[in-house]
Amino acid sequence: MTLGRPLSTVKPLSLYVLQGTLQVKRPFRCIERGQMDPAIQALIVLGVTIVLYVTEKLPLAVTAIGACTALAVMGTVDFSVAFSGFASEMVFLIAGMMVVGVAMFDSGLAASIGRGLLAVAGKSERAVMVISMLVIAALSAFLSNTASIAVFIPIIMGMTTGSDGRRLRARHLLMPLAFASSAGGMLSLVGSPPPLIVQDVLVGAELEPFGFFEFAWIGFPILLTLFAYTMGFSYPLSKRMFAARERHPPSSAYESDTPVDSDRHKKLTASLVLALCVVLFSLGVVPPHIVALLGALLVLIGGCVSVEQVYRRLDWNTVFLLAGSMGLAAALQASGAGRLMAHSALALLGPAASPLLVLALISGLGMLLTQVMSNTAAAAVLAPVALAMSRQLGISPYPVLMALATTCAAAFATPVATPPNTMVLVAGYRFTDYVLLGGIFNLLTFGLQLALVPLIWPF
C-alpha cells in the first residue's frame, strides 16, 4: 500500500461526471424574482419527509412516494427526475431477487439450506447469527452487498418459519445481517458503491487510485467492532425491544397460505437458478440488475412460483420505499440541495481549518446525508468537494476520501440509507428501530474512522 502519493492538478468540479450520477455542468440555475430556489424547496420536502419517516404517521412507502409527488407538483424538478427511482437498476435488482427468494421459499430450497446452517450452528440463535454474519460479510466483499443480503433473506425467513418462532426470530437476525453485508462491502473496492465513486474521482484527477483491498484496512476493524457491538449490546437490546411485538408477527413475502412445496423438480430448478445468479454476480460479466431479472424469469418459466403468487406476495412496501427514496435522492442532487448543504457546512471552516477538522466535517456530512439520500448519492455529491478542498488546503486527498467512503458505506441509522437496510424491512422493523440500533453503531463507526484513517493514510 502506497501512502505518500503526490498530489497533481485537480480538474474543476464542473468536469466530473461520476458514472452518470453526478453532473455539475453549471452553477445553480438563475431564480426569477419571487420564486423559491429549487434547492430550498427540496430541503423543505426533505425535512417534512424525515419527520414523517420518524413518526410513521403514514406508511414509509407512502411517505417516499408523497415526497416525489410533492417535488414534481411544485416544479422543483421534472417528473422524470422525481420518479427516476422507478427506473433505477437497484430497484430491479431487489425486485428480481425477491422473486427468486419467493421461489426459494416455496420450493423448499430455503428450508433445506436453513437446515444445513442449523446443523452447523446448532439450536442457538446467537450461533446462527454469528455464522450468518460471517458468511454474508465474506460474500459482500466480492459480490455486491445488496445481492448478498437478497440471497440470505429467504434462507433466514425459511429458518424462522420452520422453527415456528420458538427458537429463531427474523427480527433478531435480519438487521444484524444487513449491517454485516454493509460492513463486509467495505472490505474491497467492489462490495459497495461509495468506494467505487471515490475511486472514480481519483482516476478523473489523474491520481493513483486505491488498491482493491486497501479499503479493508478500515473495513476490517469496523467489521470486528460490529460483531462485538451486536453480541454485547444490540442483540440483547433487540430481544427486549421486540418482545412485546412477537404477539403480532409481521406478514411478508416469505409466508404462504399453502404448505411449502417439496417437489424435487422445483427445488432443483430453484437451486440451479440461485447458483447461476451467484456465479454471474461473482464474475461481473453481466450487470447485477440483469442477473436478478434473469433469475426471476427463470424461476417463473421453470414453474417454481406463479405470476399470481409473485403479484400477491412480493414485498411492494420495500420496492416502493426504495424507488421513492431514490427519486428523492435524485431530486436533492438535481436541485442542488445536496451541494448547498455541503458548501454551507464547509464554508464554516474557513481557509485555516486543520486537516483533521476537514476530514471530520466531510465524513460527518457523508454520514448524515447518507441516511436520507442513499450512500451512492451522498458519496457522489461530496467526493468532488472533498478532493477540491484537499487541494485548496494542500493536504493529501486520500485520508479525506477514504473517510468519506467509509461513512457513506457504513450507513445503519435509517431504512433508506442502503438497499440492504431497506430489504430487511420484511422482518417488521420500524424506522426508530434503525435509529436506535443502527444510529449508535454509526457513531461508533464515525469515531473509529476518525482515529484510524489519519494513521493509515497520513495527511
Can you tell me the distance from the alpha carbon of 106 to that of 104, in angstroms, rounded to the nearest whole number? Answer: 6
Can you tell me the distance from the alpha carbon of 38 to that of 28, in angstroms, rounded to the nearest whole number? Answer: 9
Structure confidence at residue 370 (pLDDT): 87
Cα separations (Å) of 299 from 109, 144, 261, 272, 278? 12, 22, 14, 10, 15
The C-alpha cell at 92 is 430491479
Can you tell me the distance from the alpha carbon of 288 to that of 406, in angstroms, rounded to the nearest whole number? Answer: 23
For the chain, what are the domain ranges? 13-21+38-74+84-456
The C-alpha cell at 71 is 417535488
| 23 bridge partner residues | 17
Average pLDDT, the chain: 81
pTM, entire model: 0.76
Q: How many residues does the chain have?
A: 459
- Among the listed residues 334, 370, 331, 340, the one whose alpha carbon sits nearest the alpha carbon of residue 65: 331
The C-alpha cell at 418 is 442502503
Max mean pLDDT range (245-254, 273-282, 302-311, 396-405)? 396-405
Can you tell me the distance from the alpha carbon of 432 to that of 436, in angstroms, rounded to the nearest whole number? Answer: 6
**Unique residue bearing C-alpha cell 400477491:** 312
What is the tens place of the pLDDT at every residue in 342-390? 777 767 776 667 888 889 988 998 898 888 877 877 888 788 888 878 8
Average pLDDT over residues 395-410: 92
| 17 bridge partner residues | 23
Structure confidence at residue 255 (pLDDT): 56
The answer to whether the beta carbons of residues 185 and 145 sit under 8 Å apart is yes
Summary count for the chain: helices (H), strands (E): 22, 0
The C-alpha cell at 440 is 449508535
Which element (helix H / strand E) includes 281? Answer: helix 264-283
Residues 6+ apart with CB under 8 A from 251: none
Residue 35 has pLDDT above 80, yes or no: no
| 101 Cα distance to chain centroid | 19
Query: For residue 426, what pLDDT band results from cuts at 50, 70 and 90?
Result: confident
Residue 250 has pLDDT above 60, yes or no: no
- Torsion-angle region of residue 206: left (phi > 0), alpha (psi -120 to 50) or beta? left
Cα separations (Å) of 166 from 70, 112, 235, 431? 44, 19, 16, 25
Per DSSP, the three-state class of 74 is: coil
What are the CB-based long-range contacts (under 8 Å, 24+) for 65-73? 65/320, 65/323, 65/324, 66/324, 67/324, 67/327, 67/328, 68/324, 68/327, 68/328, 68/331, 70/45, 71/41, 71/42, 71/45, 71/327, 71/328, 71/331, 71/335
Percentage of the chain beyond pLDDT 70 is 86
Average pLDDT over residues 25-45: 66
DSSP-assigned letter for residue 208: P
Per-residue b/e over 21-54, b at no fewer than 16 CB within 10 Å?
bbebeeeeeeeeeeeebbbebbbebbeebbebbe
The C-alpha cell at 255 is 409466508
Can you tell me the distance from the alpha carbon of 315 to that of 215, in angstroms, rounded to the nearest whole number? Answer: 33
Can you tell me the distance from the alpha carbon of 421 to that of 441, in angstroms, rounded to the nearest whole number? Answer: 14
The C-alpha cell at 445 is 463507526
CB atoms within 10 A of CB 219: 28
Phi and psi angles of residue 17, each rounded to the nearest 5 degrees, phi first: -135, 105
Average pLDDT over residues 248-274: 68
